[in-house]
């Protein structure tokens, strides 16, 4: 039997919203340590890796390791029915071919229970090498979302250049060309508004902005996003999931255009 | 001559919004007692009955009984032009083939007047038998709206099961299956948030959720909805219109699926 | 070299939003006095004239007169990327075929720069005769917008009748017919809410409501709109741009229907 309970069910709904544009169905690996998920998008360009540690749940029980094939599209529909302060319990009974989501309102007067059939999915474990990145940019996730959305209006690609003083996003296309430059914050009132850069080596990398925009669906999870970059290495775009884990997206840079 | 005046014209606009998805045109019966309307939807599945008593209007005058064929679609368009605090006067002159809607802003500096041509409609008076229902569920109308909307995502039908402790709404379909259970409120701060159940006999009835969703267009009229049910009898779904009347929708249960 | 700087860049964005539905590309005339623009819509029915005086800018430099062919569609896309409190600088270097828009956030930590290619446009200077209008109606621009939107639901044309006591907007069509009458304000708390009428002669003029609705895209620029009218003369619909200029739209009345 698998059963995990989150007092703030809305966090789980945000996780699913953050994933479901990139991957519509995926295999959840459940163990005593927690839930993990790895998947590539349908065109095998981007990769996502989710970790939710068991100690982040209010209660967590996993009697034996389980691989659960789940339609994120269906799960998203069901989670949209959850009240914003509802408690969420996820349960899979032994020998069951369904996952059960139970929601309970804060005043304990409304209970909802949804059952989704599990799917048989080809599961491939993807080795992600540990990388010592040349540069890590931390910035407000809403700002990153807005910039990616704006750059997509200008062109298909966005070039991210980072030096120790700041980070610059640039794009060009039919409308014209443009760039947005953020200075490293010197002092900010709220840490969540800060732009900070850890840099061993300056980088200039070009990415398909369409994928960055899909990654930004996970921005509501976290005030800050971490962009880890090295030349000729996939970008790692990370959103923390509270204190319990993270979503990491990986995207290889484009070869041409890198000189922008 | 017919003339009726409402200090809060927005109530009348909400009545029309509550009706117009189910019936696009209908005959209003005006008499000294007030305005009534009865109509079936175009597929003759659901029935609606409206009562607005004359004493609920600020002024009301009806010299002789009148049957007014009205396009609710056109009337809705015109009522959308009304300011939210406007006074509304409805007038039909003798020997006129038009209904006139006059709106006056609260500061008495803006006056609008709209004239809609009356229509010749086949009018059929539908006898609705008085029923002594097995069960009456009273609940917040926003909650009923949300549940019907959610159930429609799961499937075409919703099964409503009511016992003395609570009421359960269930549906199933391609996405999966699910149910929402509401407990009878024990004590609530605000009466409008309460769920209360008067029950002589438990019921389990299945309805086409599409129609329930149309009924919910009338939810802005009232904080609470009354669902009156008996086995093998049409559901009566009632929204009060202030102190002046009500909209009642009737929908026969589905025969199959009732065991859900 | 041309360079003009606005502390409140959002004003410029509103100017472009006010123009771009009527004209998608236009020639800006820049001189020491400021920026002017005149253009007709693609069907040559309506005319717009923009004036932004140099003294309204925070800094303004124009070494020689320049005619700049600009896609308002592209410029609008770029200006939507501007933060609402950003400073905007517009620059055209000598011998450059591009206009550069620079935006700076209030905290001076975010800088954006966009470059739009200039276009070769046929430029025609349109003589607009000075007119001594029979009637000038000043009214809240939000109210004018709402009325034009409402009248468009009723029909294609709107008839504006103005007397010394008030102004009446009327339309008719398939739905029915209707009119909205505004009294001249006697006393209002806020000047921006007032309806005031300067009248030498009563007027009754009919206009294509579609164009009035396009003019209303400029309504966010100003709390009040001025409607200047004379029989057989184009309407002038004016929105002030702060203290620095105005947008004036001109539209000839329809010949038939004027008797409404």
Counted domains in chain B: 2
Of A150, A185, A195, nearest to C81 by CB-CB distance is: A150
Rounded Cα distance, C204 and C161, in Å:
4
Q: A175 and C116 in contact by Cβ < 8 A?
A: yes
- What percentage of chain B carries pLDDT values higher than 90? 84
How close are the terminal C-alpha atoms of chain A, in Å? 53
* Domain that includes residue C199, residue range: 135-251
pLDDT of amino acid A190:
83
Three-class SS state of B35: strand
pLDDT at B260: 43
Do A147 and A90 lie in a common domain?
no
| d(CA B87, nearest CA chain A) in Å | 37
Chain C partners within 8 Å of A185 (Cβ): 109
B176 and A CB contact within 8 Å: yes
- Please give, rounded to a whole number of angstroms, the shortest distance from the CA of C212 to a CA of chain A: 29
Q: Which of C224, C222, C216, C238 is nearest to C148 (CA)?
A: C216
Interface test with A, best of B149, B152, B171, B175 (most A CBs within 10 A): B175
Nearest to B175 among A77, A98, A108 (CB): A77
Return the sign of the alpha-carbon dihedral for residues B81, B82, B83, B84.
Answer: negative
Q: In Å, how far is C161's CA from the nearest CA of chain B?
A: 14
CB atoms within 10 A of CB B96: 14
Whose CA is closest to B84, among B3, B160, B9?
Answer: B9
Q: Name subunits touching A (3+ CB pairs < 8 A).
A: B, C
CATH number at C79 reads 3.70.10.10
Residue in B closest to C185 by C-alpha: B109
Averaged pLDDT for residues B147-156: 96
Helix (H) or strand (E) segment spanning residue A210: helix A209-215
* Secondary element (H or E) of residue A145: helix A141-154
CB B4 within 8 A of CB B35: yes
- For residues A174 and A245, state if they share a domain: yes
pLDDT digit string, tens, across residues C113-152: 999 999 999 877 778 888 999 999 999 999 999 999 999 9
- Examine the fold and report which residue of C53, C86, C117 is the final residue of a domain before the chain moves on: C117
Check whether residue A151 and residue A244 sit in a common domain.
Answer: yes
Question: How far does A239 lie from chain C, in Å, by closest CA?
Answer: 22
Using an 8 Å CB-CB cutoff, list chain C residues near B110: 143, 180-183
Tokens of B13: 């606009």
Judge: B81–C150 Cβ closer than 8 Å, yes or no: yes
Across the interface, whether the CB atoms of B178 and A81 are under 8 A apart is answered yes
Answer whether A114 sits within 8 Å of B182, measured CB to CB: no
Residues with Cβ within 8 Å of residue C107, at least 6 apart in sequence: none
Phi, psi values for residue B93, rounded to 5°: -75, 155
Is B125 domain-assigned? no
How close, in Å, is residue A182 to chain C by CA atoms?
5
On whether any CB of chain B is under 8 Å from the CB of A175, the answer is: no
Closest residue of chain A to C80, computed from CA coordinates: A150
Contact across the interface for B115 and C176, Cβ inside 8 Å = yes
Q: pLDDT tens across C22-53, in order? A: 999 999 999 999 999 999 998 999 999 999 99
For residue A258, being part of any structural domain is answered with no
Chosen from C70, C114, C118 to mutate, greatest number of chain A CBs within 10 A? C114
Band (B103; pLDDT cuts 50, 70, 90): very high
H/E stretch holding A224 reads: strand A224-229
Which H or E run includes A16? helix A9-19
Neighbours of C83 (CB within 10 A): 16
Q: What is the strand order of the sheet B177-183 is part of?
A: A59-62, A2-6, A87-92, A98-104, A110-117, B177-183, B166-172, B157-162, B203-208
What Rg, from alpha-carbon coordinates, does chain B have? Answer: 20
C110 and C146 in a single domain? The answer is no
Residues in chain B within 8 Å Cβ distance of A80: 150, 153
Is A40 inside a domain boundary?
yes
Same domain, C243 and C148: yes
Instruction: Give the nearest partner residue to B74 out of C150, C175, C195, using CB atoms.
Output: C175
pLDDT one-digit tens code per residue, A45-88: 999 999 999 999 999 999 999 999 999 999 999 999 999 999 99
Selecting from C153, C177, C185 the residue whose C-beta is nearest the C-beta of B109 gives C185
Do C245 and C155 fall within a single domain? yes
Interface check for A81 against chain B (CB to CB < 8 A): the answer is yes
Residues 6+ apart with CB under 8 A from A108: B183
Cβ–Cβ below 8 Å for A110 and B180: yes
- Examine residue B126 and state whether it is found in any structural domain, yes or no: no
Nearest residue of C to residue A185, measured between CA atoms: C109
Size of interface A-C (CB pairs under 8 A): 45
CB A113 within 8 Å of CB B178: yes
Q: Which helix (H) or strand (E) holds A215?
A: helix A209-215
Indicate if B155 and B73 belong to the same structural domain. Answer: no
Q: Does A196 touch chain C (CB under 8 A)?
A: no
- Residue A90 contacts residue A3 (beta carbons within 8 Å): yes
Minimum distance, in Å, between the CA of residue B239 and any CA atom of chain A? 22
Partner B contacted by C179 (CB < 8 A)? yes
Locus of tokens 């700002």? A143
A70: its two tokens: 């789940």
Residue B258 lies in a domain: no
C-alpha to C-alpha distances, C246 to B43, B190, C222, nearest whole angstrom? 56, 53, 10
d(CA B132, CA B231): 11
On whether both B26 and B113 belong to a single domain, the answer is yes
Cα–Cα distance measured from residue A167 to residue B3, given in angstroms and rounded to the nearest whole number: 69
CA distance C203 to C228: 10
pLDDT at res. A258:
45
Sign of the dihedral through C-alpha A123, A124, A130, A136: negative
Whether B218 maps to a domain, the answer reads yes
Q: Which chains sit next to B, with 3 or more Cβ pairs under 8 A?
A: A, C
Cα separation, B133 vs A1, in Å, equals 44
- Asked if A27 contacts A19 with a C-beta cutoff of 8 angstroms, the reply is no
Residues of B in contact with A109 (CB under 8 A): 182-183, 185, 195
- Cα distances from B36 to residues A100, B28, B90, C16, in angstroms, run 47, 6, 15, 52
Q: Is B247 in the same domain as B213? A: yes
CB-CB neighbours of A253 under 10 Å: 22
Token digits of residue A129: 């090498």
Residues A118 and A98: beta-carbon distance below 8 Å: yes
- In this prediction, residue A127 carries a pLDDT of 80
Q: Which pLDDT does position A251 carry in this prediction?
A: 97
Nearest alpha-carbon partner for C219 in C249, C179, C188: C249
For B243, which DSSP code? T
CA nearest neighbour of B137 among B208, B207, B206, B235: B235
Is the CB of C180 less than 8 angstroms away from the CB of B98? no
- Chain B residues close to C181, C-beta within 8 Å: 110-113
Q: Name every chain B residue with its beta carbon within 8 A of the beta carbon of A116.
A: 175-176
Q: Which residues of A touch B154 (CB under 8 A)?
A: 114
Q: pLDDT in tens for each of the 260 residues of chain A? A: 999 999 999 999 999 999 999 999 999 999 999 999 999 998 999 999 999 999 999 999 999 999 999 999 999 999 999 999 999 999 999 889 999 999 999 988 899 999 999 999 987 777 888 899 999 999 999 999 999 999 999 999 999 999 988 999 999 998 899 999 999 987 777 888 899 999 999 999 999 999 999 999 999 999 999 999 999 999 999 999 999 999 999 999 998 644 44
Residues of B in contact with A117 (CB under 8 A): 176
**pTM, two decimal places:** 0.92
Nearest to B78 among C178, C183, C185 (CB): C178
Tell which B residues from 200 to 229 touch C, by Cβ distance under 8 Å. Answer: none
Is A126 part of any domain?
no
Q: Which of A137, A155, A175, A185 would you mutate first to test chain C, the one with the most C CBs within 10 A? A: A175
What percent of chain B has a predicted confidence (pLDDT) above 70?
98
Q: If we measure between CA atoms, which residue out of C89, C131, C90 comes closest to residue C238?
A: C131
What percentage of chain C exceeds 90 in pLDDT? Answer: 85
State which of C73, C90, C117 marks the end of a domain: C117
Contacts with A, C 17-76, CB within 8 Å: 74
Q: How many CB atoms lie within 10 A of CB B164?
A: 12
Report chain C residues whose CB lies below 8 A from the CB of A150.
80-81
Provide the β-strand partners of residue C160: C169, C205
ipTM above 0.85, yes or no: yes
> CA C121 to CA A117: how far, in whole Å?
61
- Of B232-236, C120-124, C168-172, C230-234, the poorest mean pLDDT is in C120-124
Q: How far is CA A1 from the centre of its chain?
A: 27
Q: Quick one: which of C235, C240, C239 has its CA closest to C128?
A: C235
The verdict on A180 touching C (C-beta cutoff 8 Å) is yes
pLDDT tens-digit series, residues C50-86:
999 999 999 999 999 999 999 999 999 999 999 999 9
Q: Do C167 and C245 fall within a single domain? A: yes
C210: pLDDT strictly greater than 60: yes
Q: Tell me the three-class secondary structure of chain C, residue by residue.
A: CEEEEECCHHHHHHHHHHHCCCCCEEEEEEECCEEEEEEECCCCCEEEEEEEEHHHCCEEEECCCEEEEEEHHHHHHHHCCCCCCCEEEEEECCCCCEEEEEEECCCCCEEEEEEEECECCCCCCCCCCCCCCCEEEEEEHHHHHHHHHHHHHHCCEEEEEECCCEEEEEEECCCCEEEEEEECCCCCCCHHHCCEEEECCCEEEEEEHHHHHHHHHHHHHCCEEEEEECCCCCEEEEEEECCCEEEEEEECCCCCCCCC
**Both tokens assigned to B256:** 């199959």
Residues C60 and C155 in one domain: no
Residue ending a domain, choose from C117, C148, C177: C117
Using an 8 Å CB-CB cutoff, list chain B residues near A16.
none
CB proximity B181 to A under 8 Å: yes
Please judge whether C176 and B74 are an interchain contact, meaning their C-beta atoms are less than 8 angstroms apart: yes
Tokens found for residue C209: 């409501």
Cβ density class C127-141: b for 16+ within 10 Å, e for less: eeeeeebbbbbbbbb
C-alpha distance from residue C5 to each of A205, B118, B202, C68 (Å): 32, 59, 74, 17
Looking at the complex, does the CB of residue C117 fall below 8 Å from at least one CB of chain A? yes
B146 and B243 inside one domain: yes
Judge: B111–C195 Cβ closer than 8 Å, yes or no: no
Out of C78, C109, C110, the one facing A178 most closely (by C-beta) is C78
CA distance B129 to B227: 17
Please list the alpha-helical segments (H only) found in B20-105.
Answer: 72-79
Start-end of H helices in chain B: 9-19, 72-79, 141-154, 209-215
| CB neighbour burial string for C179-205, b if at least 16 within 10 angstroms, e if fewer | bbbbbbbeeeeeeebbbebebeeebbb
Q: Is residue A51 part of a domain?
A: yes
Question: How far are the Cα atoms of A70, C16, C93 from residue A116, in angstroms, in the given order?
Answer: 8, 50, 62
Q: Please say if the pLDDT value at position C180 is more than 50.
A: yes
């Amino acid at each position: 039997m698998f059963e995990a309970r989150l007092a703030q069910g809305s966090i789980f709904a945000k996780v699913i919203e953050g994933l479901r544009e990139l991957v519509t169905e995926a295999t959840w690996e459940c163990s005593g340590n927690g839930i993990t998920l790895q998947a590539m998008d349908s065109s095998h360009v981007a990769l996502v890796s989710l970790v939710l540690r068991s100690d982040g749940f209010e209660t967590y029980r996993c009697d034996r390791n389980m691989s659960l094939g789940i339609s994120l599209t269906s799960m998203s529909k069901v989670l949209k029915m959850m009240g914003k302060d509802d408690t969420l319990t996820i349960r899979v009974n032994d020998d069951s071919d369904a996952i059960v989501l139970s929601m309970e309102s804060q005043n304990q007067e409304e209970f909802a229970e949804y059952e989704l059939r599990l799917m048989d999915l080809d599961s491939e474990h993807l080795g992600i090498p540990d990388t010592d990145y040349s540069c890590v940019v931390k910035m407000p996730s809403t700002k990153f979302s807005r910039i990616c959305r704006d750059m997509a209006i200008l062109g298909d690609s966005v070039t991210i250049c980072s030096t120790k003083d700041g980070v610059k996003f640039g794009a060009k296309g039919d409308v014209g060309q443009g760039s947005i430059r953020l200075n490293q914050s010197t002092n900010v009132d709220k840490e969540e508004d800060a732009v900070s850069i850890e840099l061993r080596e300056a980088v200039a990398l070009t990415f398909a902005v369409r994928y960055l925009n899909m990654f930004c669906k996970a921005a509501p999870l976290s005030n800050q996003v971490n962009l880890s970059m090295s030349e000729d290495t996939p970008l790692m775009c990370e959103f923390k999931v509270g204190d319990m884990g993270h979503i990491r997206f990986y995207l290889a840079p484009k070869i041409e255009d890198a000189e922008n």
